[in-house]
A and B are shown apart, each in its own frame.
Chain A
Amino acid sequence: MSVVFDKPHALCDVATHYCPGCTHGIIHRLVAEVIDELQIEGKTVGVCPVGCSVMAYDYFNCDMIEAPHGRAPAVATGVKRAKPDTVVFTYQGDGDLAAIGTCETVHAAARGENITIIFVNNTIYGMTGGQMAPTTIPGQITQTTPYGREPSVQGFPIKVCEMLAQVDGVALAQRVSVDSVPHIREAKNAIRKAFDNQIHKRGFSIVEVLSTCPTNWGLSPEQSLERVRSEMIPYFPLGVYKDAAVWSEKVEG
């Protein structure tokens, strides 16, 4: 009997706490598949955020550190500088990365830290029950924008890849989605590239993954995927915003 489908080794054999229909599971799997394919589990250190993926340390088989809210890029910097031979990735949501952790994100990018960031954008604070995120789309109803996000009051969403594409230390800034099979394939390629960049010391790589939150959006899993296509992708267009090695492999660190 041949095995046609298996769990990646880099994923722990446990049930996750994620809500049914949430696409965190797909993104976790893609990261784990890439770690397996690059055979780097033994030297990988993951850094989890505060937010829905706070317990990702229980789901990845590599060494894992849980960081304070928003500080994952600083924690990752500490690990990478202390042990340059490790492969370090952070896995962060939109509130963590683009609100409370904006400073750490931008400066890790500006330094061209050789780290990989998986940025999960679902336009909402999931773990705390659905409040406005820095990526909440104008008009979107959340617990703290009960009449819809009004830019004249709550300001505009931050487009992270567009912003980081301006930063010299960034080697890869790419936005992908996991709403369909072709998009999932594309997402995996981007994630592989982000890890590959780190292995070859090319600089800071970030992959922004548009993700769903059926629970807090008040939509079914299917409707949620549809919302990614109809509302999120038009506002946050998919694509490669920057792809250029910052450092050549000769550079130390």
Chain B
Amino acid sequence: MEKVLMKGNEALAEAAMRAGCKCFFGYPITPQTEISAYLAKNMAKRGGVFLQAESEVAAINMVLGAASAGVRAMTSSSSPGISLKSEGVSYIAASDLPCVIVNVQRGGPGLGGIQPSQSDYFQATKALGHGDFQMIVYVPASVQETIDMTYLAFNMADKFRTPVMILSDGLLGQMMEPVVFPTVDVQIPDKPWACCGHENKRSHNIINSLYLQPDILEKSVNERYERYEIIKQTCPMAESDFCEDAEIVVAAFGASARVAKSAVNAARAKGIKAGLFRPQTLVPFPVEQLNKACEKAKVVLSVEMNKGQMVEDLRLALNCRLPVEFFGRHGGIIPSVREVLGQIEQIHERIK
């Protein structure tokens, strides 16, 4: 298979088209704009729809419409823009519509900055919108993984009739790496629930999120949570390096996992028993994989590009049986290998 050198954002856009995405609605915002630009150039040529919306709010609602009509649809944005989409995401989840939402994170809060960040972890995993719902969240750590997860995101969205987020960041979106596009036969399931005209062959379909009877609303949410339970059992993904005998397990996702990996390698070269645990899905959180990776661990160190967000899920997933420490840089600053190695060495001194 041929390797090509591609930017993360453009690779994601190309992968989306190959995964059968027929409609993209977006709004310009740094550092995700290359996704829109790539699709603007290529979507129509390949029989799809690219439309620049008047706002993030409109873009996510156009996705709601296209997904309702039964086609694979996607929108992308960066942190402040994702906040604006939250209303639509809640409605999409409540209407059981499949779609893919990309967040190429930048620093926040507010307008923040345009440099890479992971400060939308809470937003992505806990509350992207009002009400009881969840969505699957994939976190790639390379351009190749961005591609692979884009295919996966569309498939899981259709399989579970749920919005799926690809949580990227300014580093992964902007960097170039050699990649291979998998040759897969895209299978899009039938969508008998879609609103695209009944052609006088069936009764009318209704896509809706309003249930004025509390018992019916409760039932609909419960039904969704039964699906989430299947997702929890079948979808968690994580990667472990050197964790079999690791006394210090460094946990990191996305861009910070690349730095953490180098730091773990450097620690190993110094004879420190360090390992890397990298969640590839944040929702569902890879609880089992984490506990397995931490069988020999004395301390877990969460390395993030924020003020400490995943660290809370690590404590919950470990049921607080191990100390979980945190090191992070934020505001758009990527932690250096030396900084992370320093943290590992400090912990090593304390526990030896």
Co-complex (A, B): yes
- Residues B64 and A81 in contact, CB atoms below 8 Å apart: no
What CA separation (Å) do A251 and B26 show in the bound complex? 24
Residue A74 is within 8 A (CB to CB) of chain B in the complex: yes
Choice from B55, B64, B70 contacting A67 with Cβ under 8 Å: B64
Instruction: Give residues 144-185 of A contacting B (CB, 8 Å).
Output: none
Instruction: Give residues 70-88 of A contacting B (CB, 8 Å).
Output: 71, 74-83, 85-87
What CA separation (Å) do A63 and B206 show in the bound complex? 6
Instruction: Give residues 229-243 of A contacting B (CB, 8 Å).
Output: none
- Beta-carbon nearest neighbor of A71 in chain B: B61
A-contact bits for B79-94, CB 8 A (1 contact / 0 none): 0000000011001000
Q: A78-B69, A103-B55 are in contact. Are A62 and B204 (CB under 8 A)?
A: yes
Residue B57 is within 8 A (CB to CB) of chain A in the complex: yes
Residue B178 is within 8 A (CB to CB) of chain A in the complex: no
Choice from B53, B199, B200, B207 contacting A65 with Cβ under 8 Å: B207
Residue A42 is within 8 A (CB to CB) of chain B in the complex: yes
CB B289 to nearest CB in A, in angstroms, measures: 37
Q: A64-B206, A64-B207, A66-B207 are in contact. Are A78 and B196 (CB under 8 A)?
A: no
Stretch in contact with the other chain, from A53-61, A129-137, A209-217? A53-61
What CA separation (Å) do A76 and B204 show in the bound complex? 17
- Residues A86 and B69 in contact, CB atoms below 8 Å apart: yes
- Residues B58 and A65 in contact, CB atoms below 8 Å apart: no
Residues of A within 8 A of B195 (CB): 45, 63-65, 79
Choice from A63, A66, A104 contacting B209 with Cβ under 8 Å: A66
Residues of B within 8 A of A139 (CB): none
Choice from B57, B73, B95 contacting A71 with Cβ under 8 Å: B57
Choice from A76, A87, A103 contacting B54 with Cβ under 8 Å: A103
- Residues A75 and B61 in contact, CB atoms below 8 Å apart: yes
Instruction: Give residues 165-210 of B contacting A (CB, 8 Å).
Output: 195-201, 203-210
Choice from B62, B205, B207 contacting A77 with Cβ under 8 Å: B62
Residues of A within 8 A of B137 (CB): none
Residues of A within 8 A of B66 (CB): 78-79, 81-82
- Residues A82 and B65 in contact, CB atoms below 8 Å apart: yes
State how many residues of chain B have any CB contact under 8 Å with chain A.
42
CB B316 to nearest CB in A, in angstroms, measures: 32
Choice from B57, B62, B197, B210 contacting A43 with Cβ under 8 Å: B197
Question: Count of A-B contacts with CB under 8 A?
Answer: 140
- Residues A107 and B204 in contact, CB atoms below 8 Å apart: no
- Residues B197 and A44 in contact, CB atoms below 8 Å apart: yes
What CA separation (Å) do A214 and B206 show in the bound complex? 29
What CA separation (Å) do A67 and B64 show in the bound complex? 8
Residue B340 is within 8 A (CB to CB) of chain A in the complex: no
What CA separation (Å) do A250 and B207 show in the bound complex? 32
Q: A65-B65, A79-B66 are in contact. Are A45 and B197 (CB under 8 A)?
A: yes
- Residues A42 and B198 in contact, CB atoms below 8 Å apart: yes
Residues of A within 8 A of B73 (CB): 78, 82
- Residues B54 and A107 in contact, CB atoms below 8 Å apart: yes
What CA separation (Å) do A197 and B67 show in the bound complex? 25
CB B130 to nearest CB in A, in angstroms, measures: 11
Residues of A within 8 A of B199 (CB): 42-43
Instruction: Give residues 138-190 of B contacting A (CB, 8 Å).
Output: none
Residue A33 is within 8 A (CB to CB) of chain B in the complex: no
- Residues B196 and A63 in contact, CB atoms below 8 Å apart: yes
In this complex, the member of A42, A47, A77, A80 whose beta carbon has the largest number of chain B beta carbons within 10 angstroms is A77
- Residues A61 and B204 in contact, CB atoms below 8 Å apart: yes
Closest 4 CB pairs of A and B: A78-B65, A74-B61, A43-B197, A107-B54
Enumerate 9 A-B pairs (CB-CB under 8 Å) in ascending A order. A57-B208, A61-B203, A61-B204, A63-B198, A71-B88, A79-B65, A82-B73, A86-B69, A87-B197
| Chain B residues in the interface with A (C-beta under 8 A) | 22-23, 25, 49, 51, 53-55, 57-59, 61-71, 73, 87-88, 91, 95, 195-201, 203-210
| Given A41-B198, A78-B61, 19 other A-B residues pairs in contact with their CB atoms under 8 A | A42-B197, A43-B197, A45-B68, A47-B65, A58-B206, A60-B204, A61-B203, A65-B64, A67-B91, A68-B88, A74-B57, A74-B61, A75-B62, A78-B66, A78-B73, A82-B23, A82-B71, A83-B69, A103-B54
